[in-house]
Amino acid sequence: MLCPKRDRTHEQKHFDLAEVFRRAMMQDMSSKKFTRNYKEEIKAIVAKRQQAFNKEQLLYDRETQHGMNKAAQVLWNNAIAQQLTNSGKFAATNITIQIHQE
């Protein structure tokens, strides 16, 4: 039988990983100097981060065996918490982007 608390923790970390990647995307966008082609440049950033996010989610599930491997889950919990701490500067949901005219 699955432990409901463990299941909730595992699923919460999927959500937390999504936040880590959202913050990374915010960081990418805030540091980029966009051109008049900014819509395509934003799409490229989103696609790159989405691909990395998908791979990380699969790796997380595989290594933790969907939360059943307690030791691996603890390692991931700590790693995700550290990533959230390190990316705190990009926790805001709004950023200002720079568009440079060429």
- pTM for the model stands at 0.86
Q: What is the pLDDT of residue 7?
A: 78
Q: Tens-digit pLDDT profile for the chain (102 aa)?
A: 455 666 799 999 999 999 999 999 999 999 999 999 999 999 999 999 999 999 999 999 999 999 999 999 999 999 999 999 999 999 988 888 888 876
The CB density around residue 18, as the number of other CB atoms within 10 Å, is 13
Q: What is the pLDDT of residue 1?
A: 45
Three-state DSSP state, 33? strand
Give the span between the Cα atoms of 82 and 55, in whole angstroms: 19
Q: What is the pLDDT of residue 100?
A: 84
**In the chain, domain spans:** 7-28+43-85
**Alpha-helical regions (H) of the chain:** 4-31, 38-64, 70-86
Residue 6 burial (C-beta neighbours within 10 Å; 0-12, 13-18, 19+): middle
Residues, the chain: 102
Per the CB < 8 A criterion, the answer to whether 43 and 29 are in contact is no
